[in-house]
Amino acid sequence: MALVAGSYERFIWGFSLKTLTSPAAATDSSSETLTLAPLFSYPAHTGPVRCVAAAPTTPFACRLERPASAVSYAEDRDGGDRFVMAAEEKVTVHDSEDARIIHEMDRGKRVLAMAPAKNGVLYTGGEDRGITAWDLSSGKVSSRIEGAHATRVKGVVVFDSRKDGSELSNLIASASSDVVIRIWDVRTIGNAKPTPLAEANTKARLTCLAGTSLKYHY
């Protein structure tokens, strides 16, 4: 599993999410200790880096009639093909065939990042500094991390699978302009704020985040 982040300060960073081996982790995946190991960092452009991507990704294209901060293909828990669009504080779920709006979800503050999971859940982050999990079938909030970061959340990544795709992953990543990248276990999201499994301080205001579940060689 790997992450790439960009920043206002022109740098990009690469991190590998690694498991620190322990006797307990061999029998209980919930006891694993994770760390974000640095892979690289360098000034990639002469201006702010506002978007990054990791391959492979699902091909998707659509024509928009209004400005949006993020657009992504997704599936609901029944396997329905959808696309989701974030514009200001609202996220709309559309039928991928005729673009009709199925759900309109209001976060209350501007949504700046989102990432769909294979289980029909959409994770969003933005000006409210938290991470919200939405059920795409109902359009309702299923869980939320309050105060995930000190400032706005600028990137969210879902790790679809682990162990070469043999099982679904329970991990998501978030990046913020508070300079920190954090890893979360979605199973711990409840009423109380969960503790991040791992984090990395880049010392730069992050603008975007991308990732892959594939093993990264550098």
Cα separation, 10 vs 214, whole angstroms:
26
**Token pair 């409210």 in the structure block, residue:** 128
The model's pTM is: 0.83
pLDDT greater than 80 at residue 69: no
Query: Is position 217 within any domain?
Result: no
List, for residues 103-161, the tens digit of each pLDDT value: 999 999 999 999 999 889 999 999 999 999 999 999 999 999 999 999 999 999 998 77
What's the domain range around 81?
A: 2-212
pLDDT greater than 70 at residue 63: no
- DSSP 8-state secondary structure symbol assigned to residue 101: E
Q: What is the pLDDT at residue 183?
A: 96
Question: CATH number of the domain that 185 lies in?
Answer: 2.40.128.630
Q: What is the pLDDT at residue 26?
A: 47
List, for residues 202-216, the tens digit of each pLDDT value: 999 999 999 887 665
List, for residues 18-48, the tens digit of each pLDDT value: 887 655 544 455 557 889 999 989 898 888 8
How far is residue 106 from each of residues 32, 93, 109, 110, 213, measured CA to CA in Å? Answer: 35, 11, 8, 9, 30
Query: Is position 181 within any domain?
Result: yes
Confidence band (pLDDT; 50, 70, 90) for 218? Answer: low
Structural domain total, the chain: 1
Query: Is position 218 within any domain?
Result: no
Average pLDDT, the chain: 84
Cis peptide bond prior to 56, omega within 30° of 0: yes
